[in-house]
Homo-oligomer: A and B are copies of this chain.
Amino acid sequence: MSEPLRIVIIEDEAAIRRFLRASMGPDEVEWFEAESGGEGTRLVAHKNPHLVLLDLGLPDQDGLEVLRDLREWSQVPVIVLTARGKERDKVLALDAGADDYVTKPFSIAELLARIRVALRHAARVIPNTEAAYEASGLRIDFEARQVFVDGEEIRLTPIEYRLLSELARHAGKVLTHRQLLRAVWGPAYEDSTHTLRVHMGAIRSKIESDAGYPRFIRTETGVGYRLIPEEL
């Protein structure tokens, strides 16, 4: 894996954040820290991390709610990390979609082992963590965040890039409007199909030469969009 591991930690105590950060070298892991639930959700949406560490006791929002919010649109592995050791809390968190539950004070070696387990699972779920996508003249370098058509670089806005990436990560499959909106804008924007269309149009005007016969993005009327995987 050449790509560095991205971990979002949602935890209000700076001491614990520092502790974790120190436990894993910054060479291997890229950390993103949030002190509140709202900020955390935004970070996850924006950074597309491999793992989330979530404290249950947050200032603005209960950790459980953050978890449920996340699970509306993201499959990212979440390890709950908390002082609440009661059975009821554990069961609630696990059933809300947490992948593991570690009680403070925890041993760092155990936490690391559990992180490895979570990543192992995720690797099975999302086998498509390629560093780049390429098909019939379209090339997307996910690491460099660059897009090329027939070798020429195309400049995309943030939303355009994420939309195209989302399509590329599921190349060949139809993604519904709803799925795309959830993935790029978040679950609150599920119904903004008009905005989606406009952005789709913008991407097309940049990467397609003949609007009548699309090379890359095909619209599936009444359903969504699909990236055409290979030349016919």
Count this chain's copies in the assembly.
2
What sequence of 0s and 1s flags, for each residue 86-124 of chain A, a beta carbon within 8 Å of any chain B beta carbon?
A: 011011001100111000000101101110110001001
Interface: A157 (CB within 8 A):
yes
Q: Which of A30-38, A55-63, A220-228 contacts B (4 or more CB under 8 A)?
A: A220-228
CB distance from A9 to the nearest CB of B (A): 20
Q: Is the interface of A mostly helix, strand, loop or mixed?
A: mixed
Q: Is the CB of A113 within 8 A of B90?
A: yes
- Compute how far the CA of A116 lies from the CA of B157 in the bound complex, rounded to whole angstroms: 41
Complex formed: what's the CA distance from A157 to B219 in Å? Answer: 11
Q: Tell me the chain A residues, 209-232 only, with Cβ under 8 Å from chain B.
A: 220-223, 226, 232
Given A107-B87, A109-B91, check contact A117 B98 (CB 8 Å): yes
With A100-B100, A223-B158 already in contact, the answer to whether A114 and B94 are too (CB < 8 A) is yes
Question: Does A42 interact with chain B (Cβ within 8 Å)?
Answer: no
Is the beta-carbon distance between B124 and A100 smaller than 8 angstroms?
no
Chain B residue numbers with a CB within 8 Å of A13 are none
Contact A110 B124 (CB under 8 A): no
With A114-B94, A117-B100, A124-B125 already in contact, the answer to whether A145 and B223 are too (CB < 8 A) is yes
In chain A between 62 and 102, which residues have their CB closer than 8 angstroms to a CB of chain B?
A: 75, 87-88, 90-91, 94-95, 98-100
Write 13 A-B pairs (CB below 8 A) sorted by A numbering.
Answer: A75-B124, A88-B109, A90-B107, A91-B110, A91-B113, A94-B114, A100-B100, A100-B117, A121-B125, A125-B125, A143-B173, A144-B226, A145-B226
Question: Interface of A with B (CB < 8 Å)?
Answer: 75, 87-88, 90-91, 94-95, 98-100, 107, 109-110, 112-114, 116-117, 121, 124-125, 143-146, 153, 157-158, 172-174, 220-223, 226, 232
